[in-house]
Amino acid sequence: MNQESKKFLEELLSTPSPSGAEEKIQKKWLDYLKDYADETMTDFSGNAIAVINPDAEFKVMITGHCDEIAFMVNYIDDNGFLSVVKSGGINPKLALGSRVRVLTEDGIINGVVGVNAEHHGGSKEKIKVEDIYIDCGFKDKEDAEKKINIGDYIIYDFDYNYLENDSLTARGLDNRTGAFIVAEVIKQLSEMDCNVGVYAVSTVNEETNMGGAYFAGSGITPNMAIACDVSFATDYPNLNKKKLGDVKLGKGPIISKGSPINKKINSLLEKAADTNNINIQYEVTPGRTGTDADKIRLTGKGVPVALVSLPLRYMHSPSEIVNLEDIKEEVRLLSEMISKLEGNENLKPV
């Protein structure tokens, strides 16, 4: 990964993007692509879109959602402690004792998720979101209300670090890595011959309602779409691979198989992987994928979709882990596959 790309990835990971408040990260995404795309635009949901060959009849859409899980302030008690609700699948048990940032209109307020000391009996075995509270050091409710509003988002106080063997840890790798990957595909394709229109979309709201994916599919009306998300690596202790499959960090991107997935798009991806010596892995999604692909395929008259995922450890924790080589290979896989499209592909299964 060159320095420009690495700096862009780090910038995305350092930018708060809770589901429903993605404006700052979208502006940075669009600014990065202004010199590579033929057109950039937004839509009413807050999606950011970059296009190559906008006049082409055959349109390929690639999406990666930029939003991250978070908490939201729901109540301030008389002593100035903040109660919260979940925005996306954030785990309250993992939050205990964590440092957090409250994202207010006037800037960041630092806080801590309160935790009962072991000396006082420790935490409950089962933690619900209504059991936790945020301590920002306020004197009382009046003091807190000077700076905090109901609806303010709260994220973990952690951006990124590099680990051994090209590993990267951060909060919200799910799925700001996807937004990064589709941007890098546009950057690569800007230097390659391309016969089709390519619409890269940094989508919003995937973690809460997938509304961004629906807006993207409905507005762009692509002939085919590929969702780029993360999926579960199963290469760490105490996991049942017979149940969860065998997926490793550093062994390449994951191609999904199952009823939502168009087999002909998968064949095109597999051909590109084979031709360019790119390692790929597989996962099964028999009924639904749990990603933007599910919404996109049901827009308009229906859109053939595929799902290409980045292996990830510790999903929805404050410290997820991915491998930089997997990111590089996913960008290469998508770029090579899309650059070989003629624009007359018949994607009907029968």
Domain boundaries, the chain: 3-68+171-339, 71-156
Report in angstroms the alpha-carbon separations of 246 from 41, 235, 236, 240, 254. 39, 7, 11, 9, 11
> What's the confidence (pLDDT) of residue 126?
85
Tokens 């951006």 map to which residue?
159
Low-confidence residues of the chain, pLDDT below 70? 117-122
- List of E strands, the chain: 39-42, 48-52, 59-65, 70-76, 82-87, 99-104, 107-113, 134-135, 153-156, 160-162, 167-170, 197-203, 224-232, 254-257, 281-284, 305-312, 320-323
* Domain 3-68+171-339: top CATH class: alpha beta
3-class DSSP state of 196: coil
> What's the confidence (pLDDT) of residue 123?
72
> What's the confidence (pLDDT) of residue 125?
76
> What's the confidence (pLDDT) of residue 115?
81
Query: ∠ at Cα 161 (158, 167), nearest 5°?
Result: 130
Question: Do 71-156 and 3-68+171-339 fall under one CATH topology?
Answer: no
Task: Please state, in angstroms and rounded to a whole number, the distance separating the CA atoms of residues 47 and 54.
Answer: 17
Q: What is the pLDDT of residues 302-344, one digit of tens each?
A: 999 999 999 999 999 999 999 999 999 999 999 999 999 999 9
Task: Determine whether 100 is exposed, middle or buried from the number of CB atoms within 10 Å of its CB (0-12, 13-18, 19+).
Answer: buried
Active site residues: 206
Tokens 């882990």 map to which residue?
321
Task: Determine whether 330 is exposed, middle or buried from the number of CB atoms within 10 Å of its CB (0-12, 13-18, 19+).
Answer: buried
| Contacts of residue 60, Cβ cutoff 8 Å, sequence gap at least 6 | 196, 197, 198, 199, 222, 223, 224, 225, 226, 338, 341
> What's the confidence (pLDDT) of residue 122?
65
The predicted model scores a pTM of: 0.96
What six digits make up the tokens of 305? Answer: 């979709």
The one-letter code for the residue type at 98 is S
Q: Of 288, 49, 337, 17, whose CA–CA distance to 177 is shortest?
A: 17
Report in angstroms the alpha-carbon separations of 95 from 177, 198, 317. 22, 39, 8
Task: Please state, in angstroms and rounded to a whole number, the distance separating the CA atoms of residues 249 and 22.
Answer: 28
* Domain 71-156: top CATH class: mainly beta
